[in-house]
Amino acid sequence: MMWSVAGQTALVTGGSRGIGLAIAKQFQEAGGNVMLVSRSAENLRDAAATFGGAGGEVAWTVAHVGRPDDASAAVEATIKRFGSVDALVNNAGTNPYMGPLIEIDDRRMAKTVEVNQSSVLVWSRAVWSRWMRDHGGAILNVASIGGLSVEPGIGWYNVTKAAVIHLTRQLSWELAPTVRVNGIAPGIIRTELARAIWEDNEDQVASHIPLGRIGEVEDIAPIALLLLSNAGSWITGQTVVVDGGTSNQPSGGVG
């Protein structure tokens, strides 16, 4: 019963595909209601149609995660539809730039911050002020192991994910004891966002992962349910690394 979220409702940004959709399905299968959020009504309709009949109810609403008015409207729509918003999953993310950090243009720099970083606070603020301040709840932020390391090509993306990890810690302290705030830092997962990393050299990428394979969205979803349910009731301020062991390898030096 500790893993059950029956009677609770989760609002999931970036919920029409990938990790967000997998988390939403896990939550719904555990008995909870789900409100999916994305910019595309078509994608949301398609995603909602993939849920099973057992479990909680599923609805969707169109919103742009970088816009505070959209966040407030989505929270209101969730409360109107289900009567509460007990969990928020800040999953939406983007990476419009690949290349040296020093060469990124202002437009793509700002867009990455808006979607990956600022939206975490925008949506957390919306659910806190409208529901969680008085009723409690749980917030889950999807970060990345890139926020814990240095690597070529996606440096600015990783900077924003490092900010998400720190936002998780800061918000957990500020919103305690009524709201728990945790994060997940996935490694390379088979998603559309990460396709450029693994698609053309999957075997080579997998060879550098101790558990020998690229991650699947289903590897992330159960950890999310732990952190959103009563099973994780004494966990807050933590970002759980789920990466097949990628970040836990020898440095290459001579012992």
SS3 139: strand
Catalytic residue among 26, 157, 158, 159: 157
Would you say 144 and 188 are in contact if contact means Cβ atoms under 8 Å apart?
no
User: Is position 157 annotated as part of the catalytic site?
Assistant: yes
Eight-class DSSP state of 248: S
Angle at 84 between CA 83 and CA 87, to 5 degrees: 150
Would you say 168 and 224 are in contact if contact means Cβ atoms under 8 Å apart?
no
144 vs 199: CA distance, rounded Å: 19
76 vs 242: CA distance, rounded Å: 32
| Among candidate residues 111, 114, 87, 93, the one with its CA nearest the CA of residue 12 | 87
C-alpha dihedral (115, 195, 204, 252), degrees to nearest 10: 0
19 vs 108: CA distance, rounded Å: 23
Residue 157 half-sphere exposure toward CB, CA atoms < 13 A: 20
SS3 126: helix
The residues annotated as belonging to the active site are 157
